[in-house]
Structure 1
């Protein structure tokens, strides 16, 4: 099997790219803006060329010629400079331009050029630094560090900032088990954003799956590898949030940047030839195609072998198992398990997409964890006063109605109250309605139903009673999260009152709306989370799976009868391990807005 990408070995540099329907493919080398083209040799579906010399650091791209018939999925336009799908480094970020979608318009001055890498260091495999039941800390690298007063300005907004002692010390303070980095590979803004003066600040719109974004990670593979090593030295794991469900080439009005101009069969199409859009982003990668699965597995292996990451979170993960319908025994799962570099990694699914049968919570393999939105919604509804105690108890006990009885591996649920997508935790108790006007879509984007409340005042308030009520609510929500069985997740800043001013879709707010405010943080709340996390970390085995057996107790401490469960409206719940030597207990009282963990 051809090794795709650019590789230096034995004093020569070899280039290989897949383009099964092209008539001709050229390697395009750049010396500044001077382009030199080399016609590549075809071998089956792949095109290759070997040039003399060590060309590490050389900028390059591809051009492909063939039939231009977009209705047939053939987008061959030799005027388009195409990014290598196997590139591991780029010389610049992607930018939107109408010429990307216009046939015959040259894009050499727009498209990033890939950079030939020096031979990459293969790391010695180590066990993932992760334990089920621990705290996953989801963070946007740029938003998390842009306003951090102790991080040098030159580092802010970059992956390297996460290795700064001030950041490492903070993560240790709140007992983070693993950081989950929102996308750090190269992406492009959605077409409508430039005219609004906005940019995509989340990164869920990738083009080059292996290439680290030059803005977030200017030091490339070495910067990510060194940052992972610094986090590992403090006992903190690293998970990468990867997007394999679609690419930023979007719908048929989108640009020709990489796969579309080389191998459009990577995208799923309906019988009539239309692009399938199970992602809401204009296209869906086709995981019934072995080449797509190969790119996915090769990408994951690259980040494990060369950067040392501990695992991955998958955006809109049902797409990985579509062919076109969801299949819990899809080939991708077996291929990941069979890969020696990946078999022991951590895998977390966002188990829904917007396609037919797209909600697949509980249906991923036993060794996968899954984001549990039922926990999120039932806990919010309970504290809002709309949900019963029975639903809450089920969520706290590991959601056996969804995941079945917990295995020896521990609970597969990733419990969370808020994530990057939706209201922040503080905004959840301050806004009943979304306030997304800054996004330029007349407040139509984002979720409409959030199970949120405002304590009598919509938005910011100077009323001391309202402020106090909101803090109490946040503490109750956090206490419930930390009392739950399974792995738990916090989005960076939610532990100290981060707000997005009611914006529940802040993907395009690379500014004070989206950035974490370190100076104005609620340190009382932060210390409360630190105490909760310390208690949980001290007895982690009690939380990776629900202790069995347990006693459900009345408010007064007696055994709970069936009639007690039927009094759901009272909103209280006491639980303790039957074995008095197991330090597992919690008490929840909705009326008092109180959660207590421990005996």
Structure 2
């Protein structure tokens, strides 16, 4: 049997977690209501418990101790004693081995067994009972890690938000079916040269990863032969998930980030600080519940139960200073040690909810806003949850940007030809000013999306009228029903050339609309190559070919068109401004910068805006300060969005020495720029863009 050093000294309470200093390990863990905290040490396999040592000191509710001679790779966990009074919010049970909330690495998933529950499964009023079985054979182990790797000359790209193009992706789903990647399904695959080539060809500046902090495979899914594919059930907020690692060394993630940075691509993490994987009172005792249930979770008036604003059984109590500290420490760790470039906060409305409802000045937002480490990274909120007053689009304080579902729905409904959608499309094109143009917020506050992991893929938006989630095992009750999709006359796959052509045209229209809009564009991985989930709009449990990106069936033509749209956006800063554009003179330069026109070139009037049958929107954007080769006396773009029949569109008069040139026509994806004089024939159901350019000598 392996012999471990077990002599423990007081250590230090300042740095929470297990900290290796070259000579030993300091352990520190917060628990306000515990009466005893025991550190459990395991052998190198993690199977055999070799020592159970009480932490000898308690300083301001932080229990701590130091053991000389312990090394990185040491497996450990905690057993914590205290009151077991669920009706008072306390659920301590020293028979349960607990993951350190600050663990930088964990060994594996829990192996589901009733012993993981703090109560006796099947007992009357079960969660009030007390289970005496040891959970160690089934629980994960925390693992001590060495300090950060040598980063060398890693330089985060620091791409301005106005120049950012986000690519939302799942580590495994993006890479596991690619035929030419090293370590498919793992972190390293994200930085393989074929993947970097793809991202660079597209023009992506940031990859936003679905949760990679260690998460749980829910028991009810495992028992149905499914899995928690997306990862929104966090177990350890500091540890990369083991399933995405080859050796377990956190340097795998660090090297992946560095390689992406070298290609000019930022790394954003989707993070879940609103709840944990332990669920409600009937869930397992894996970490927080057994460490200090009454501190870590928001409890109901009857403290036996949990506030469930997230729909996941519990809500993390970020109003508690030590829980808030854990969140902030986690965020700083991922920036300083792992070098990520920003975060997307899942169900962020939950983070800002206090006793009086949602508060944009909630403690957690104030903490993030003042933090000098977070000041240099991107912060993006998912501005809703299922709690009271849960829809908070536009309500977050700067510097947060927000996912904009109104952009998604507005663009889908316009191209679906719903009546009266022109005014809404106009708002979406201009950065959703009604939601975001206040409190000094920039136009980049709106993260514009057509699709995301949660919902239909872009191919499915044009292929299905209804969701088809039967494989999830919930009788198709799960997932959104209001998808604003259109199957073009056939539900699902079709070989009819007219149907496939109409679907391709609709996808091009929507993708062009995305990249012609003010704000920050985000695309879902796989949309650029036509990936389908066969109508499943809630593939959270589909760790299979349903959700994995199909590289073999890639739509190369649509990939090329998407890259063309991104390149056009990058070439024209007028499409990615920080200030909101309005149909009035701007105080800064006294020049009108936004004009809404009818097909005949006349300004839109109130009757036009109120016409429910109007299907055409023409917008002219101007600026006096273009960049080469668009630094003419005046620089302008005219974009035409036509969900109706073909029509003659009159273009504005070009100043002397300049000419209008048609650069983009979604009905002709391979179009090379061509001059336009006076007017042009706008195709039915298409997008076209003209640029005011210097007239070339004959």
Cα distance between partner residues in 2 of 1:249 and 1:303? 23
Aligned 8 A contact 1:96 1:188 in 2: no
TM-fit CA distance, 1:406: 8.9
Aligned 8 A contact 1:573 1:587 in 2: yes
Quote the residue 1:362 is aligned against. 394
2:686 to 589, 594, 599: 594
Query: CA 1:292/1:127 → structure 2, altered by over 3 Å: closer, same or farther?
Result: farther
Cα distance between partner residues in 2 of 1:537 and 1:293? 39
TM-score of the superposition, structure 2-length normalised?
Answer: 0.83
User: Following superposition of structure 1 onto structure 2, how do residues 348-359 of structure 1 map, counting pairs within 5 Å?
Assistant: 348-359=380-391
TM-fit CA distance, 1:20: 1.4
What SS is found at the alignment partner of 2:134? coil
User: Following superposition of structure 1 onto structure 2, how do residues 92-107 of structure 1 map, counting pairs within 5 Å?
Assistant: 92-101=108-117, 102=119, 103-107=131-135
Query: CA 1:122/1:436 → structure 2, altered by over 3 Å: closer, same or farther?
Result: same
1:237 to 262, 266, 286: 266
TM-fit CA distance, 1:315: 0.2
User: Following superposition of structure 1 onto structure 2, how do residues 53-202 of structure 1 map, counting pairs within 5 Å?
Assistant: 53-101=69-117, 102=119, 103-121=131-149, 128-152=158-182, 155-202=183-230
Unaligned runs of 5+ in 1: none
Quote the residue 2:276 is aligned against. 247
What SS is found at the alignment partner of 2:596? strand
Aligned 8 A contact 1:96 1:191 in 2: yes
Cα distance between partner residues in 2 of 1:116 and 1:378? 49
1:553 matched to 2:597: yes
Cα distance between partner residues in 2 of 1:565 and 1:216? 51
What SS is found at the alignment partner of 1:343? helix
Query: CA 1:337/1:407 → structure 2, altered by over 3 Å: closer, same or farther?
Result: closer
Quote the residue 2:36 is aligned against. 24
TM-fit CA distance, 1:417: 0.9
Aligned 8 A contact 1:400 1:406 in 2: no
Aligned 8 A contact 2:168 2:524 in 1: yes
User: Following superposition of structure 1 onto structure 2, how do residues 425-504 of structure 1 map, counting pairs within 5 Å?
Assistant: 425-504=458-537
Aligned 8 A contact 1:122 1:306 in 2: no
Cα distance between partner residues in 2 of 1:99 and 1:461? 50
Aligned 8 A contact 2:518 2:576 in 1: yes
Quote the residue 2:9 is aligned against. none
2:609 to 565, 570, 578: 565
Cα distance between partner residues in 2 of 1:310 and 1:582? 33
2:48 to 12, 30, 34: 34
Which one is further off, 137-146 or 270-279?
270-279
Q: Deviations over 1:26-59 (max 9, x none)?
A: 1101013221111112233111111011421100
Cα distance between partner residues in 1 of 2:155 and 2:376? 10
Aligned 8 A contact 2:155 2:261 in 1: no
What SS is found at the alignment partner of 1:469? helix
Cα distance between partner residues in 2 of 1:177 and 1:426? 23
Quote the residue 1:6 is aligned against. 18
Aligned 8 A contact 2:23 2:68 in 1: yes
TM-fit CA distance, 1:7: 0.7
Q: Deviations over 1:72-94 (max 9, x none)?
A: 22111111110000001112234
TM-fit CA distance, 1:95: 4.0
What SS is found at the alignment partner of 2:234? coil
Cα distance between partner residues in 1 of 2:441 and 2:291? 45
Query: CA 1:552/1:541 → structure 2, altered by over 3 Å: closer, same or farther?
Result: closer
Cα distance between partner residues in 2 of 1:238 and 1:79? 40
What SS is found at the alignment partner of 2:235? coil
2:292 to 263, 266, 269: 263
Q: Whose Rg is larger?
A: 2
TM-fit CA distance, 1:382: 1.1
TM-fit CA distance, 1:436: 0.4
Query: CA 1:491/1:126 → structure 2, altered by over 3 Å: closer, same or farther?
Result: closer
Q: Deviations over 1:507-543 (max 9, x none)?
A: 0000010100001011111111010011011224532
Query: CA 1:164/1:583 → structure 2, altered by over 3 Å: closer, same or farther?
Result: farther
Unaligned runs of 5+ in 2: 1-12, 120-130, 583-592, 624-632, 645-683, 692-698
Q: Deviations over 1:135-165 (max 9, x none)?
A: 110000100001001113xx11011111101
Query: CA 1:332/1:118 → structure 2, altered by over 3 Å: closer, same or farther?
Result: same
2:413 to 374, 381, 390: 381
Aligned 8 A contact 2:296 2:316 in 1: yes
Cα distance between partner residues in 2 of 1:431 and 1:293? 43
What SS is found at the alignment partner of 1:451? coil
What's the RMSD between the two structures over aligned residues? Answer: 1.8
> Which structure would you say has the larger RCO, counting Cα contacts within 8 Å and 6 or more residues apart?
1
